Amino acid sequence: MNTNIKSAVCLVADAKEALNQLTTSYKTTSKGPIVQESGPWWKSLKESAAKNNNTVAKMIADTSIPMNYYSTLKIIEDSV
């Protein structure tokens, strides 16, 4: 998949506390979403997510030897 991009900002914190602070700040300073859900960025993101889901589904279904990461996790998940 290799779709990662380099981060512009590093954030090292307790995830729950950091997200709480970010959402509180957003709620008090924002006048609405920065990116509209009907816009091209969301459309592109949803298409990319669907493509990734299809790719991962194929990897999960591939139980050939040697087993891959995703098929192994699915077997463990089904057992729990």
Rounded Cα distance, 56 and 1, in Å: 9
Q: Is residue 47 part of a domain?
A: yes
Taking 60 as the threshold, does the pLDDT of residue 61 lie above it?
yes
Domain extent for 56: 37-80
Show the CA angle centred on residue 32, arms to residues 28 and 33, nearest 5°: 115
Predicted confidence at residue 33, as pLDDT, reads 67
Higher-scoring residue by pLDDT: 54, 33? 54
Q: Is residue 77 part of a domain?
A: yes
Q: Is residue 44 part of a domain?
A: yes
Residue that has been written with the tokens 């509180």 in this structure? 24
Q: Is residue 12 part of a domain?
A: no
Domain count, the chain: 1
Q: Is residue 25 part of a domain?
A: no
pTM: 0.55
